[in-house]
Amino acid sequence: MAVYAPPISLRQLVRLHHRDCLPMRRVLAEAHRGSLPGVEPVAGGSGFAVTDRNVALAAIRKRAA
């Protein structure tokens, strides 16, 4: 019997890595524009699901100045 976990939400991913990530407001703005790889809108229309954690995390990490 296999047990499948639901996909992690974008908010959960940012909270788990908040020290390394861009601010939540900026991450959500990029997700709404559709320019955030590894993330797709949830079917119900409220929020975003992470489809590829490594790609999404690389995209939302703070860029070195």
- Write the pLDDT tens digit of every residue in 10-61: 999 999 999 999 999 999 999 999 999 999 999 887 899 999 999 999 999 9
The domains of the chain are located at 10-60
Task: Using the predicted structure, report yes or no on whether residue 65 has a pLDDT greater than 70.
Answer: no
Higher-pLDDT residue of 4, 22: 22
- Give the dihedral of Cα atoms 58, 63, 64, 65; nearest 10 deg: 170
pTM: 0.81
Higher-pLDDT residue of 48, 63: 48
Residue 24's pLDDT is what?
92
